[in-house]
Amino acid sequence: MANNTADHPPGNSVAEGGHDGDFGISMEELKALMELRSAEAVGRIQECHGDVQAICRQLKTSPIEGLSGNPTDLEKRHAAFGKNFIPPKKPKTFLQLVWEALQDVTLIILEIAAIISLGLSFYHPPGGNAEACGQAAGGVEDEGEAQAGWIEGAAILFSVIIVVLVTAFNDWSKEKQFRGLQSRIEQEQKFTVIRKGQVIQIPVAEIVVGDIAQIKYGDLLPADGILIQGNDLKLDESSLTGESDQVRKSLDKDPMLLSGTHVMEGSGRMVVSAVGLNSQTGIIFTLLGSGEHDDEKKVKKAKTQDGIALEIQPLKSDEATESEEKEEVKQVKKVNVTKKEKSVLQGKLTRLAVQIGKAGLFMSALTVIILILYFVIDTFAVKGLSWTAECTPIYIQYFVKFFIIGVTVLVVAVPEGLPLAVTISLAYSVKKMMKDNNLVRHLDACETMGNATAICSDKTGTLTMNRMTVVQAYVGDKHHKKVPEPDDINPGTLDTLINSISVNSAYTTKILSPEKEGGLPRHVGNKTECALLGLVLDLKRDYQPIRDEIPEEKMYKVYTFNSSRKSMSTVLQNADGGFRMYSKGASEIVLRKCSRILDAQGQPRVFKPKDRDEMVKQVIEPMACDGLRTICVAYRDFPTEAGEPNWDNENDILNELTCIAVVGIEDPVRPEVPAAIAKCQRAGITVRMVTGDNINTARAIATKCGILLPGEDFTCLEGKEFNQQIRNDKGEVEQDRLDKVWPKLRVLARSSPTDKHTLVKGIIDSTVGETRQVVAVTGDGTNDGPALKKADVGFAMGIAGTDVAKEASDIILTDDNFTSIVKAVMWGRNVYDSISKFLQFQLTVNVVAVIVAFTGACITQDSPLKAVQMLWVNLIMDTLASLALATEPPTESLLLRKPYGRDKPLISRTMMKNILGHAVFQLIIIFTLLFAGENFFDIDSGRNAPLHSPPSEHYTIVFNVFVMMQLFNEINARKIHGERNVFEGVYKNPIFCSVVLGTFALQIIIVQFGGKPFSCAPLTVDQWLWCVFVGMGELLWGQLISAIPTHHLKFLKEAGHGITKEEIHKEELTEDTDEIDHAEMELRRGQILWFRGLNRIQTQIKVVNAFRSSIYEVESPHSRSSIHNFMAHPEFVPQSEEEARISTIEEAGEDSERIESLP
């Protein structure tokens, strides 16, 4: 039979819970069956079972009624066939995270230095004459102090432990947050099954073998199954087989449906045959070692064409295999959806981190070299001493001290708080965005959204309410401006119209009674079809009896709606052997295929092209100008005499139609949308509407929304015209042509998914205009997948969106509302600003600390700020400041400035002015105190103290003033655009207030009671007040700096740029090879491999890399608990990002496992 329906033996009742647990078919048999494809599978089913019905009987289920849902029955099924759940990988324990934090190279260097320092402090050479060894730093130390030499080493170790615990705790809480978020996403995934004859939606994890599942266009299959009945069903199995062509499924050719594949067209029902680890997806999981500790084995996944053979072989890092890999990548590239590049912020941060790291390494090496040279020249040349055996330990102790100072400079130079600030800011925003109806699936999407310069939005459901109603109709030669009364229509025409609408729409579409008394009826399923069914009810008729009389099984052939057809048709066989086909679709498309139309008497009369043009002018255009979507309903009879037509020849079948009616469907604009679009325009974001509707409808809605403003020179194009303008004679898209079209384009109507993808790609790749564009796209249909993937940020609709769209997206709008996108922009800009605030604060500290440590070390042979003090400064500056500055709530004022775009630097001129301005102030104060402080406070000088001398008040004051200035500068750092009032809204951020006060309290404790470990001497109240007073000078100085106009300071350089135009062209040339960020390219060069090993920057790149991955990817490939989430993830694509990352880092001779571990 043409429509792939299995014949139902009578008496197929609902499966009861009372049967014993023995099913007529075992899990192994089903597993073996699911491994087969097409004709082979059909053969095996016939040979071993007879038909699909027999399999349903063996599974004790009914193809029509489904399972009973009886708990004991479900339990038995769980026991026999397993649950639809893939167990997640165990989270890392706190100790594992501690161990990982300890792997940090800078910390290891500090630990080694501290241990050497400890060892030497306990080693006293026998009878060594200290004087003979030349006290390079002068002064005499007393016995008791020599005994206390161990304290510095112990204190460094202690601070290392603190840093490690803080890092580990952060990682642990992040992982916990992500798991919570992931389980929330999973609970939201439901699938339609039939139980007790009722169509219900159940969570994916509750599906059992034997369930009858309804599948339709846009579904992502959650389990394996065998087709029972299908209409024009096509699946995309590329995620499993690597075949990019859509596979047609039918009972007689290929009834096997696999989990993780996407339904691209049609609808049907299947009996679930394998779930969880036994499904084809689950088997791959098992191959990948889902439960095991498989992190260490890097597996290379290669796809083969037949079925799902996955070769798994170790990744060789030899040069030899590299070329083979490249070859493979090229072949597979065509199949995959292009993977996202780094987010805008990540790219900028990575480059900035590399620059800072280089500078820090250079300074610390210089410090150590100068200290050692000075000591050697002073001791052996100036004083003329010779190196003797008994002096060796003393000299070594000096060298260790110099080494510790050098490492400390490095520790302070590298802003390791940066990844922490980014993470805290993103995690905080993601949590808060949940309340604003944004479910963020990929962390970095949140900050990218702040840079968005363009939004390409769908019309239906996003800008409009997606509650469609028929408000006008043209039927029986008459245009009714409101829904006609049943008596106004010829009874014959009315019957044909009612039958056509009832039968030729998905049976999953229904209108249910309202939830609340006096509410609106609930629309379930396709909204356009709901409008048509609503028309049936308005005409005082009911569609359900007609559907009961003609169940889906009786349909002879169904041409389901898809984006190229833009229509849907259903064929029924008449009693006399002839056929009748009902069609509906976009009016201009269906009318073109009509050769007759029903007149006022219900008789078909000839409908010529000129009649059609007349109708378009008189009926369709006026409807469209009112913002209505027009749908034409038609039918065609195939007489018995002509025999059965060739149903596969679609062009002949969908022709010679008779038009019954044309209806105008209204979808009102959401009341809050015009204001939201005005906000976007004020914020410098261009909103474009991309829709499948006709151009007049689109233009009317765009004007209502405020996308098109009267008197402005913007264009509206139809898909066809758009393609003519952007393609050359060979039909290829040319960027130059596109660049002429997109800047003025505001509405793209009658567009196909390819047009949407072309437009998005064209805008992203374009280099015209001052800044490069960052594009956000909204989509709900399966066909929006490619555009959502290509966009910098893809928004999927949480309510109306298909699974495929959700899988391709970065953020899910849980309320399908455009205003939520504006909220996302606000949060994104806030993240960007938070990170800039942190950088402004952090780099001021870094510049000052490095210069002080360096000059101090060179002039007085000892850093005024000791290693332990530096680590404390590092802790406040990094961990605590990132907490304080990264949790500022967003304000509406963020929407008053233009977006930053792709190539605007992270550190603007204003910020550079603030950083250098405050650094100058702090350096003047600190050097004044360092070289003249003893006179001012009337205390002993702390310069040139011997090796283990007690802490001096002088150096304690220097340290205290330094910290006070940072505390007050933290308040200055709250504003980065040169605003005067730095206290504005400070009370709204309790975290900021508590961090500043907490740091102050800790500083008092350290100075007063820190003693030897912190190299602090207690200060008097008088001295404390002076320290605070000098610190407050920062606030006044900040006002002074903001008074200097930035535009006069042309000499100030900006830092942390995005990618420049020249690099884009280079990038385009290398697009086929692996995409590696430029900063990482730099890291690959030999000279930096050494620096990389030494520098804390590796952590940043890892964190930054971890952001690239989605929430799911964060926890390594094996932790996804739902099959549903499996196939759409890049790790299962050869040469995925993960692998690209592994190879980069392996070349740097480093453990790549940590990438996966850092959320």
List, for residues 42-77, the tens digit of each pLDDT value.
888 888 877 888 888 888 888 888 888 788 888 888
Cα 450 to Cα 152, 404, 899, distances in angstroms: 46, 41, 7
* Per-range mean pLDDT, top range of 75-84, 333-342, 898-907: 75-84
Residue 807 CA to residue 942 CA, distance in Å, equals 63
Q: Which pair of tokens denotes residue 866?
A: 């000791």
Q: pLDDT category, 924, cuts 50, 70, 90?
A: very high
The residue-averaged pLDDT of 863-877 equals 71
Name the band, by pLDDT with cuts 50, 70 and 90, for residue 664: very high
Instruction: Among 45-49, 380-384, 634-638, 834-838, name the most confident range.
Output: 634-638
Average pLDDT, the chain: 75
What SS3 state is found at 568? strand
Q: What pLDDT band is residue 1090 in, cutting at 50, 70 and 90?
A: very low
- For the segment 697-719, the average pLDDT, to the nearest whole number, is 87
Nearest to 781 by CA among 262, 338, 1129: 262
φ, ψ dihedrals at 1070, nearest 5°: -95, 15
Percent above pLDDT 90 for the chain: 9
Both tokens of 30, joined, read 């089903």
Return the SS3 of 1045.
coil
pLDDT category at 126 given cuts 50, 70, 90 is low
- In one letter, which amino acid is 857? A
* pLDDT of amino acid 887: 81
Is residue 938 among the annotated active site residues? no
SS (H, E, C) 839-878: HHHHHHHHHHHHHHHHHHHHHHCCCCCCHHHHHHHHHHHH
b or e along 463-491 (b: 16 or more beta carbons within 10 Å of the residue's beta carbon)?
bbbbbbbbbbbbbbeeebeebbeeeebbe
Three-state secondary structure call for residue 297: coil
pLDDT, position 124: 60
Q: Are 139 and 946 in contact, with CB atoms under 8 Å apart?
A: yes
Question: Rounded distance, CA 952 to CA 941, Å?
Answer: 8
Distance between CA 924 and CA 1070 in Å, rounded? 49
Lowest mean pLDDT among 673-677, 966-970, 984-988: 984-988
Q: Strand ranges (DSSP E) for 289-355?
A: 299-303, 310-314
The answer, yes or no, to whether residue 246 has pLDDT greater than 60, is: yes
Mean pLDDT within 539-557: 87
Closest CA to 3 of 223, 268, 193: 268
**Contact residues for 40 (Cβ-Cβ < 8 A; gap 6+):** none
The pLDDT value recorded for residue 584 is: 93
pLDDT of residue 1055: 63
Q: How far is CA 363 from CA 360, 372, 962, in A?
A: 5, 14, 20
Token pair for 142: 């007393």
Nearest-angstrom CA–CA distance, 719 and 633: 24
pLDDT at 558 over 90: no
Closest by alpha carbon to 955, among 847, 862, 848? 862
d(CA 955, CA 276): 65
Single-letter code of the amino acid located at 685:
I
Q: 1158 — phi, psi (to 5°)?
A: -90, 105
Handedness of CA 459, 461, 465, 467 (dihedral sign): positive
Look at residue 300 in the predicted model and tell me its pLDDT.
31
What does the alpha-carbon distance between residue 633 and residue 591 come to, in Å, rounded to a whole number? Answer: 9
Secondary structure (DSSP) of 42-97: HHHHHHHTSSHHHHHHHTT-BTTTBB---HHHHHHHHHHH--S--PPPPPPPHHHH
Q: For the ranges 341-355, 736-750, 785-799, 1111-1125, which has the lowest average pLDDT? A: 1111-1125
d(CA 863, CA 410): 13
Contact yes or no for 1023/962 (Cβ under 8 A): no
The partner residues of 778 in beta bridges, in order of sequence, read: 795
CA distances for 480 relative to 484, 496, 551, 700, angstroms: 6, 18, 32, 20
Does residue 140 surpass a pLDDT of 60? no
Strands 686-690 and 454-457: parallel
Q: Which residue has the higher pLDDT, 139 or 135?
A: 135
* Residue pLDDT, tens place only, 723-766: 988 888 888 888 888 888 888 899 998 888 888 888 999 998 88
pLDDT of 1054 higher than 80: no
Report pLDDT for 746: 92
The tokens describing 386, both together, are: 């010779």
Asked whether residue 142 carries a pLDDT value surpassing 50, the answer given is no
pLDDT of residue 459: 82
The C-alpha atoms of residue 274 and residue 505 are separated, in whole angstroms, by 30
What 3-state DSSP class applies to 997? helix
Task: Name the 3-class secondary structure at 634.
Answer: strand
Q: How confident is the model at residue 835 (pLDDT cuts 50, 70, 90)?
A: confident
What's the rounded mean pLDDT across residues 641-664? 88
| Per-residue confidence (pLDDT) for residue 105, from 0 to 100 | 66
The pLDDT tens digits of the residues spanning 1043-1053 come to: 888 777 766 66
Residue 144 has pLDDT above 60, yes or no: no
What are the phi and psi torsion angles at 1037 (to 5°)? -60, -40
Judge residue 1048's burial from the number of C-beta atoms within 10 Å of its C-beta, 0-12 exposed, 13-18 middle, 19 or more buried: exposed
Q: Is 1083 exposed, middle or buried (0-12, 13-18, 19+ CB in 10 A)?
A: buried
pLDDT bin (cut points 50, 70, 90) of residue 392 is confident
Give the torsion sign (CA, 46, 50, 51, 55).
Answer: negative
When mean pLDDT is compared across 64-68, 557-561, 780-784, 817-821, the lowest value belongs to 780-784
Neighbours of 727 (CB within 10 A): 15
Residue 250 is given by DSSP the state B
- Please, which residues have CB within 8 angstroms of residue 250's CB and are 6 or more apart in sequence? 4, 227, 230, 233
Query: Per-residue pLDDT for 1082 more than 50?
Result: no
How much is the average pLDDT of 353-362?
78
| pLDDT tens digits, 266-319 | 888 899 988 888 887 777 777 765 444 433 333 333 333 233 233 222 223 333
Angle subtended at Cα 724 by Cα 720 and Cα 730, rounded to the nearest 5 degrees: 125
Distance CA 990, CA 650 (A): 66
Are 92 and 175 contacting, i.e. CB atoms less than 8 angstroms apart?
yes
pLDDT, tens digit, 9 for 90 and up, residues 147-160: 555 666 676 677 67
Give me 586's structure tokens: 């976009």
Q: Give the per-residue pLDDT at 85.
A: 78
Judge whether 955 and 1015 are in contact, CB under 8 Å. yes
Predicted confidence (pLDDT) per residue in 184-214, tens digit: 666 667 888 888 888 888 888 888 888 888 8
Q: Which amino acid is at 722?
A: F
- How far from chain centre, in Å, is Cα 178? 13
Highest mean pLDDT among 177-181, 259-263, 698-702, 1071-1075: 698-702
Higher pLDDT, 658 or 20: 658
Q: Residue 252, Cβ neighbours under 10 Å: how many?
A: 9
Strands (E), 150-237: 190-195, 198-203, 212-216, 224-236
Q: How many CA atoms lie within 13 A of 868 on its CB side?
A: 22
Question: CA 231 → CA 197, 269, 550, distances in Å?
Answer: 20, 9, 15
CA–CA dist 978, 876 (Å, integer):
24
DSSP 442-457: SHHHHHHHHT--EEEE
Which 3 state secondary structure label does DSSP give 317? coil
Q: Is the pLDDT of residue 920 over 90?
A: yes
Contact call for residues 955 and 942 (beta carbons, < 8 A): yes
Q: Is the pLDDT of residue 326 over 50?
A: no
Q: Is the pLDDT of residue 1099 over 60?
A: no
Q: What was the pLDDT predicted at 532? A: 92
pLDDT band at 861 (very low <50, low <70, confident <90, very high): low
Annotated active-site residue in 104, 458, 833, 862: 458
Torsional class of 807: left (φ above 0), alpha (ψ -120 to 50), beta (otherwise)? alpha
Is-contact 826 451, C-beta < 8 A?
A: no
- SS3 letters across 755-786: HHHHHHHHHHHCCCCCCCCCEEEEECCHHHHH
